[in-house]
Amino acid sequence: MLVVCVLLLINKASRSGAIILIIGKGIYYLAIVGISPLLYYSLAASLNLAMGLFLHDEYKMPALCAYLLVPVNVLGFYLWYDYYPPDLYNVISVIILSIQLLLLSTRILTHGRSRDNIKHPLAFPDGFDSRQACDTMYKTPSVSDYTKVTIQESEWK
Q: Is residue 132 part of a domain?
A: no
Q: Is 142 or 16 the better-scoring residue by pLDDT? A: 16
For residue 55, the SS3 value is helix
- Report d(CA 29, CA 47) in Å as an integer: 12
Task: Return the pLDDT at 19.
Answer: 87
The share of the chain scoring above pLDDT 70, in percent, equals 64
Output the average pLDDT for the chain: 77
Q: What is the pLDDT of residue 126?
A: 47
Residue 59, burial from CB neighbour count under 10 angstroms (0-12, 13-18, 19+): buried
Q: Round to whole Å and give the CA distance between 134 and 112.
A: 27
Closest CA to 13 of 101, 109, 126: 109
**Is 55 a domain residue?**
yes
Give pLDDT tens digits for 101-144. 888 877 666 554 444 445 555 544 444 444 555 555 555 655 55
Identity of the amino acid at 146: Y
Q: What is the total count of domains within the chain?
A: 1
Q: Does 104 map to a domain?
A: yes
Domain with 58, as residue range(s), is 2-123
Amino acid 77: pLDDT:
95
Mean pLDDT of 57-64: 90
Contact by Cβ (8 Å): 125, 25: no
Task: State the Cα–Cα distance between residues 154 and 147, nearest whole angstrom.
Answer: 11
For the entire predicted model, the pTM comes to: 0.65
Count CB-CB contacts under 10 A for residue 117. Answer: 19
pLDDT tens sequence across 72-106? 999 999 999 999 999 999 999 999 999 988 888 77
